[in-house]
Structure 1
Amino acid sequence: MIREQLQEVEARIEAACARAGRKREDVTLIAVSKTKPVEALREAYDLGIRVFGENKVQELTEKYDALPGDIRWHMIGHLQTNKVKYIIDKAELIHSVDSIRLAEAIEKEAAKRERTVRILAEVNVAEEESKFGIRMDEAIPFIEKIAGYPHIQVCGLMTIAPFVENPEENRPIFKNLHKLSVDIAGKNIDNVNVNILSMGMTNDYEVAIEEGATMVRVGTGIFGARDYTVSG
């Protein structure tokens, strides 16, 4: 099943890139593997997937130890400051930085290990109360502040759009995040690079690609529905 679903996702990504006049290699597919067993990840790995996204620190660390070393792990879920130390040397990119406190915790742990951690600022474009992320009008001051941390590199922006039946409803969300990235780039802030736009999930990644996404986070589309009985 994973093989067929992955082929369909690939075909859809290619078609969306073609519609937008973009190259397929400009979009990274992140296989969102939360709640999925190691066997399912291994199957995706054998089919060529090397970038996996996890929502929970415990799941990421357990799977990191159980799977091949060339996998690039992305932390895409909400990250608590007291859990930073467990993934600081395991996650290639942290998508969900949404507070000064969290940025400070990452800076502190990264300094201890003498390494630079790549992060994205999470922006709650839709301003949904149930979602994490900074507001659009907070984004530039927030990034200007955390750009001063020597062990953090701001690499772009992430958003979680609302779940909608019609993906077209989220097009303005993706447009706005793209516009924000252009505005930030225009400020030429030291230590800030906004090349990455992490936006779009199983139900709307094609629209996100058309609006400039460079990373799409697809879980159900690859692995099927989530099993919430799994602890983690």
Structure 2
Amino acid sequence: MEPEARRDELAASLDEVRRRIARACTAAGRDPGSVTLVAITKTYPASDVELLAGLGVTDVGENKDQEAAAKAAAVTAALRWHFVGQLQRNKAKSVVTYADVVESVDSTRLAGALSSAATRLRDRPLDVLVQVSIDGDPDRGGAVAHGAEPDRDLWRVAAAVEQAEGLRLAGVMAVAPLQWEPERAFATLAELAGRLRADHPHATVVSAGMSGDLEQAVGHGATHVRIGTSLLGMRNTLR
């Protein structure tokens, strides 16, 4: 697709996503400016990221270190880069060199690895979101609020991030479990996020909601929504 045609396509999709966010905010009695759109650009080329930046997108998300590092190096626009995928500790040294936010910290050991890397390789704190397991399933990603092993306990992970040098606890992130209704999932997340803020008042970010459920997430207080398909299209049609 020619760059101008792709820009027009992205502009139309972006307008519709912004309208959805605005309608959801109106329904929830919120200011649309209180919700940040994070464009999930995994598998899409750096040229798409540049086009989105030109259209006013400020935040982009990636979920694989190798792709994210190369893309961040190639993109010239000033953007806020979010790492949103599951992260192995041995990738921490790479991720801290380009990410502004890591949204997927779900263990005290990962917090320690990021802290060690950030203190050596960054000149400013790395914002961290604790990934919450809404349904408490220990076999999936996310820190667990009840009955987890100590390394994956939500409250211990948050405390580890808060105390770690080079990190800043910014809030929480979650994905609604497939078998849950989004309303139930995001209501549960809102309760856990509120409990976390009681101990860490500055941890105000709630990253929740994707293309199919952003309205429900905004209705339950999401401050960031992570949008890929509704913004960039179905991946299998673009590869």
Same fold (TM over 0.5): yes
| SS class of match (2:51) | helix
Residue 198 of structure 1: aligned partner:
207
| SS class of match (1:91) | coil
Equivalent pair of 2:111/2:157 in contact (CA under 8 Å) = no
Residue 49 of structure 2: aligned partner:
41
Residue 23 of structure 1 and its aligned partner are, at CA, apart by 0.7
Distance (whole Å) between structure 2 residues aligned to residue 229 and residue 40 of structure 1? 11
Residue 178 of structure 1: aligned partner:
190
Task: Report the number of matched residues.
Answer: 224
Distance (whole Å) between structure 2 residues aligned to residue 88 and residue 158 of structure 1? 18
For residues 1-232 of structure 1, the aligned pairs below 5 Å read 1-113=9-121, 114-128=123-137, 131-137=140-146, 138-163=153-178, 169-187=181-199, 189=200, 193-227=202-236
Equivalent pair of 1:35/1:228 in contact (CA under 8 Å) = no
| SS class of match (1:5) | helix
CA deviations over 1:20-53 (Å, ceiling 9, x no partner): 1111111000000000112222222221112110
Using the TM superposition, name which of 141-150 and 105-114 deviates more. 141-150
2:38 is aligned with what amino acid? I
| SS class of match (1:186) | helix
| SS class of match (1:153) | strand
1:158 is aligned with what amino acid? M
TM-score, length-normalised on structure 1?
0.90
Residue 115 of structure 1 and its aligned partner are, at CA, apart by 3.4
2:161 is aligned with what amino acid? I
1:127 is aligned with what amino acid? G
Tell me: CA distance 1:45–1:23, structure 2 relative to 1, closer, same or farther (3 Å).
Answer: same
- Name the Cα RMSD after superposition: 2.0
Residue 126 of structure 1 and its aligned partner are, at CA, apart by 2.2
Equivalent pair of 2:21/2:215 in contact (CA under 8 Å) = yes
Residue 150 of structure 2: aligned partner:
none
Distance (whole Å) between structure 2 residues aligned to residue 217 and residue 139 of structure 1? 22
| SS class of match (2:225) | strand
Tell me: CA distance 1:145–1:37, structure 2 relative to 1, closer, same or farther (3 Å).
Answer: closer
Tell me: CA distance 1:89–1:172, structure 2 relative to 1, closer, same or farther (3 Å).
Answer: same
Residue 6 of structure 2: aligned partner:
none
Larger RCO, structure (CA 8 Å, separation 6 or more): 1
Give the gaps of 5 or more residues in structure 1. none
| SS class of match (2:183) | helix
Distance (whole Å) between structure 1 residues aligned to residue 213 and residue 139 of structure 2? 19
CA deviations over 1:134-190 (Å, ceiling 9, x no partner): 1122312321233221221111000011246xxx91111111111112112222x4x
Runs of 4+ in structure 1 off by over 6 angstroms are none
TM-score, length-normalised on structure 2?
0.87
